[in-house]
Amino acid sequence: MKKLKILLLGLLLLLLPINALAYSDYIIPGGETLGIEIKSDGIMVIGFYPIKGKYNKGTPLIKTGDYIIEVEGIDVESVDDLTKVIEDNIDKGYVNVTYRRKNKASTSKLELIKDDGIYKTGLYVKDSITGIGTLSYIDPETKVFGALGHEIVESSTNSIVEIKSGTIFRNYITGIEKSSNGIPGSKNAKFYYDTTYGKILKNTNVGIYGIYEDTFPDKELLKVAEADEVKIGSAKIQTVLDGENVDEYKINITAINENASIKNISFSIDDESLLEKTGGVVQGMSGSPIIQDNKIIGVVTHVVIDNPTTGYGIFITTMLEEGEK
């Protein structure tokens, strides 16, 4: 069988039957494309570069995927912070760096090597990630929103980003790079950083979540479908392909897996207008709500790279449960 390549597109009241989680039975469906910016909880080490033809031998303990949290005992939250502390200690020829790996902190000496009159560390680092995705839902009672349906990863290390803070903001689609077999397409967008909609509080393997702080979109609430209500057959997705207009497109649900953690819904795209514009599922479409029988059943999460007219989705109840934790 051919192996498919997958892309990441309170008080307990006794004797009273209550739900453990407080999400609403009716929610606001998403579909709007969002700008997403997250600040990492520490400075991410994403790679190394050679100095004078060699990699820095003074950093044997630091690895890609680590988070630098202190330098010389001083907290650092940005690349600018890191640069300043290093510049203040150049005369020593090294700095003591405290880094976090899988919630465990360690310290290592980082040698500063002079090359062409400039002191260098040999580390590639970053403190934030910006991109686009799709709003999945807003709970009108709790103001919790969910988006993407999967985690945000740092592309160089392919590891989930541990976030300190983040925002969702206005985004305007300017064009589409179409998908083709073996090549996932993407949405191209213009960012409006000054028009924020909410704060991101967590980044998980089933989506990003936070509090929606802007005026709610003027939309009809949709009933939440339980997993056992999802069925094989026709459905729709809601997404933006041009500007800020959310439109509906026809899909066909081909398989359901209630036991999977994320890829619960398999689908193919039947809508000729969508195929004409995108060639199938494209990056930036992750989080698009899936609607069936006027209920929200899940969201788009992945594209099958070898056949981008097909993809996967996650149950909406999984996202709602995670959003309320």
Residues labelled catalytic? 150, 271, 286
Residue listed under structure tokens 């919630």:
103
Backbone angles phi, psi at 320, to 5 degrees: -60, -40
Is residue 42 within 8 Å of residue 62, measured between CB atoms?
Answer: no
Cβ contact 124:47 at 8 Å: yes
**Count, residues in the chain:** 325
Biggest CA–CA distance in the chain, Å, is 74
- Whether the CB-CB separation of 7 and 303 falls below 8 Å is answered with yes
* Helical H segments across the chain, by residue range: 79-88, 272-278, 316-323
> Percentage helix, strand, coil, to 5, in the chain?
10, 55, 35
Distance CA 137, CA 126 (A): 30
Which positions ≥6 away from 175 have C-beta within 8 Å? 187, 188
Other Cβ atoms less than 10 A from the Cβ of 109: the count is 12
| The pairing of beta strand 144-147 with beta strand 207-212 | antiparallel
Determine the 3-state secondary structure of 320 from DSSP.
Answer: helix
Residues 6+ apart with CB under 8 A from 3: none
Residue type, 111: E
Q: How far is CA 17 from CA 12, 13, 20, in A?
A: 10, 8, 9
Residue written as tokens 């392909």? 241
Task: Measure the CA–CA gap between 251 and 248, rounded to whole angstroms.
Answer: 10
